[in-house]
Amino acid sequence: MMTPGPASRIVTLLPRNNPTPIAVPAALQLLGGIGLAKIAEHIATLTSALLEGARQLKIRTKTPPESVGPLVVLQMKDSDAMVRKLAERNIVVSNRMDGLRVSFHLYNTLEDVKAVLKVLENNLCLAVSN
């Protein structure tokens, strides 16, 4: 009879119905079919719109204004409270110390940005002003 070595325990920790081997190739195929450049352009548009909206609301940003990446961080007096305010509207964001972190991806829209900005506008007392 064979006795499993210590490394075999790693395998037994993985769930038997792990969908990752099936899901990852399909996701990569979907993203590749859309085109990474198109996705990057879409995310840059969303990031720019949120940064511009925050500027108009006079909310201090921690993200550089020329950023085109998917993360935007806005400085808050109470980031926990702002996360809860957004969650009330089914908007999922996170906080990092005094920062409200909004993360965009392919599935987000300009309507999502407008929804975030509306909640921010209604709760400016929680944001740090410029």
Domain ranges, ordered by start, for the chain: 36-126
CA distances from 88 to 12, 83, 100, 122 (A): 40, 9, 15, 13
Please state which CATH class domain 36-126 belongs to: alpha beta
For residue 10, pLDDT beyond 70 = no
Whole-number mean pLDDT of the chain? 89
Please give the model's pTM, rounded to 2 decimal places. Answer: 0.81
Is residue 130 classed as helix, strand or coil in its secondary structure? coil
Angle value at C-alpha 110, between 107 and 116, nearest 5 degrees = 95
Give me the pLDDT at residue 22, please.
80
**Is residue 60 within 8 Å of residue 48, measured between CB atoms?**
no
CA distance 130 to 128: 7
Average confidence (pLDDT) over 59-82: 96
Place 24 in a pLDDT band, splitting at 50, 70 and 90.
Answer: confident
Give me the pLDDT at residue 80, please.
96
Question: Residues 83-125: pLDDT tens digits?
Answer: 999 999 999 999 989 999 999 999 999 999 999 999 999 999 9
Place 14 in a pLDDT band, splitting at 50, 70 and 90.
Answer: low
For residue 2, pLDDT beyond 70 = no
Average confidence (pLDDT) over 67-77: 96
